Amino acid sequence: MFRSILGFAILAVLAWLGLKLVFGILGSLVGLAMTILWLAFLGFVVYLALRLVSPRTADRIRDMIKGRPSS
């Protein structure tokens, strides 16, 4: 009886450590994805403001990013 209780305790500790590891990795990936999305949003806002203020400059930036040769 003591052996089975000890076995369940060890299994519970291993499961807890495994879940902590898995959710830690997933949490890091979700945090990284949210950071990338936030930076993309900020870039879009800056590009939109530049498009409103100076459309030609925005076109040149877009061509530079896409890799088209400038004229």
With cut-offs at 50, 70 and 90, classify the pLDDT of residue 47.
Answer: very high
With cut-offs at 50, 70 and 90, classify the pLDDT of residue 67.
Answer: confident
* pLDDT score for 4: 86
- Which pTM does this prediction carry? 0.63
- CA atoms of 4 and 26, how far apart (whole Å): 32
Q: Among candidates 49, 44, 37, which has minimal Cα distance to 65?
A: 44
* pLDDT score for 70: 61
- CA atoms of 71 and 62, how far apart (whole Å): 13
Question: CA angle 38-42-44, nearest 5°?
Answer: 115
Residue 47 · residue 58 · CB < 8 Å:
yes
Give residue-wise pLDDT tens across range 24-36: 999 999 999 999 9
